[in-house]
């Protein structure tokens, strides 16, 4: 996959490899979708800068008041 989707995964979905049960990440297929090929390798890179959810930070600040 040439791009990542760091903020568009639903709260009720998790990380899966080879199966998409709910929201497709591409318009090239429909969910549910089971990949029938072979996954030789999966790499999860978490070394990038943390994505800040500014809206969530604002909600937290208001909740503390």
2-20 pLDDT, tens digit per residue, is 555 555 556 666 677 777 7
d(CA 38, CA 57): 41
Report the percentage of the chain scoring pLDDT > 90.
3
Q: What are phi and psi of 64, to 5 degrees?
A: -75, -20
Pair of tokens at residue 13: 């979905």
pLDDT at 6: 56
C-alpha distances (whole Å) from 63 to each of 52, 58, 59 are 18, 9, 6
pLDDT at 10: 60
CA 11-28-14 angle, 5° bins: 20
pLDDT at 39: 85
Higher pLDDT, 40 or 52: 40
Q: How many CB atoms lie within 10 A of CB 61?
A: 9
- In the predicted structure, residue 58 carries a pLDDT above the cut 80: yes
pLDDT at 28: 85
Pair of tokens at residue 48: 């990038």
């Amino acid at each position: 996959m040439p791009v990542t989707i760091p903020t568009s995964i639903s709260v009720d979905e998790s990380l899966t490899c080879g199966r998409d049960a709910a929201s497709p990440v591409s318009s090239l297929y429909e969910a549910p979708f089971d990949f029938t090929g072979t996954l030789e390798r999966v790499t999860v890179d978490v070394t990038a800068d943390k994505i800040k959810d500014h809206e969530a930070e604002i909600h937290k600040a208001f909740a503390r008041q």
